[in-house]
Homo-oligomer: A and B are copies of this chain.
């Protein structure tokens, strides 16, 4: 990367999901603005992880760059879920105040491209740097204040995730390399907000030849140890099948 001139009217926002073996979480960045003289807090809320794209990078690279900055990780699963160009994306008073203060040469009207990111929580330690970044339960977002149209974007991403998860094996991106079937089941339950019968769930997994049992078992747990499994993308690609399945 040579120059870092931003494109003033195009940004990328990443909705980063993680799973802590209990529930789904989303990564949000703290936004705070203090009055320089009085020290009074003018704005205190959260935003998605996003920034303008640079003149010399494409959209996917911009998303990767942003995620690398927050998590230190490369090769994060990324999937575009939409481009948003509503005229009133930035209409709340506090968002206008924010723009007046930061004054970084952003355009009045910004089109943003939304990316869904899935992270293996066990691999990441957040980089706080100058801004505060942390995980919030997905169920908590409805009660939070998010900047701009980021709450809307978040729900767009969540919907896209729920749609996609039924149709492609992307949920595995949220798990470590080894996982137990109970963890996998909990993940699907968290993603879809439903619950499954354990035996039927496992019967289904048994048909997924790309979920492969390992020799390893859990250790040090106060109950019968579970077997570990592995997701193999290669096997998936080789054995996938299409089907019309929207009926009813």
Contacts from A to B (Cβ < 8 Å): 7, 9-10, 53, 55-59, 80, 82-87, 109, 111, 113, 163, 165-169, 188, 192, 204, 207-209, 239-248
The residue that A168 contacts in the complex, of B9, B168, B246, with Cβ under 8 A, is B246
21 contacts between A and B (CB under 8 A): A7-B9, A9-B9, A55-B109, A57-B87, A58-B85, A58-B87, A59-B83, A59-B84, A59-B111, A83-B113, A111-B111, A163-B167, A166-B246, A167-B167, A169-B246, A188-B244, A192-B242, A204-B244, A207-B247, A208-B247, A240-B248
Q: Shortest beta-carbon distance, A173 to chain B, in Å? A: 14
Complex Cα–Cα for A204 and B243 (A): 12
CB-defined contacts of A247 to chain B, threshold 8 Å: 204, 207-208
Q: Shortest beta-carbon distance, A170 to chain B, in Å? A: 9
Q: Could you tell me if A87 and B242 are in contact, using CB atoms closer than 8 angstroms?
A: no
CB-defined contacts of A53 to chain B, threshold 8 Å: 85
Q: Could you tell me if A243 and B245 are in contact, using CB atoms closer than 8 angstroms?
A: yes
- Cβ-closest chain B residue relative to A205: B247
Complex Cα–Cα for A244 and B59 (A): 30
CB-defined contacts of A242 to chain B, threshold 8 Å: 166, 192
Complex Cα–Cα for A7 and B110 (A): 11
Additional 8 contacts, C-beta under 8 A, given A166-B244, A245-B245: A10-B111, A58-B85, A58-B86, A59-B84, A166-B243, A167-B245, A168-B246, A207-B248
CB-defined contacts of A208 to chain B, threshold 8 Å: 247-248
Q: Could you tell me if B246 and A167 are in contact, using CB atoms closer than 8 angstroms?
A: yes
CB-defined contacts of A85 to chain B, threshold 8 Å: 10, 53, 58-59, 113
Which of A56, A209, A245 has the most CB atoms of chain B within a 10 A radius of its CB? A245
- Cβ-closest chain B residue relative to A240: B248
Q: Shortest beta-carbon distance, A56 to chain B, in Å? A: 7
Q: Shortest beta-carbon distance, A43 to chain B, in Å? A: 26
Q: Could you tell me if B83 and A166 are in contact, using CB atoms closer than 8 angstroms?
A: no
Which of A56, A168, A242 has the most CB atoms of chain B within a 10 A radius of its CB? A242
Q: Shortest beta-carbon distance, A67 to chain B, in Å? A: 17
- Cβ-closest chain B residue relative to A188: B244
Complex Cα–Cα for A208 and B246 (A): 9
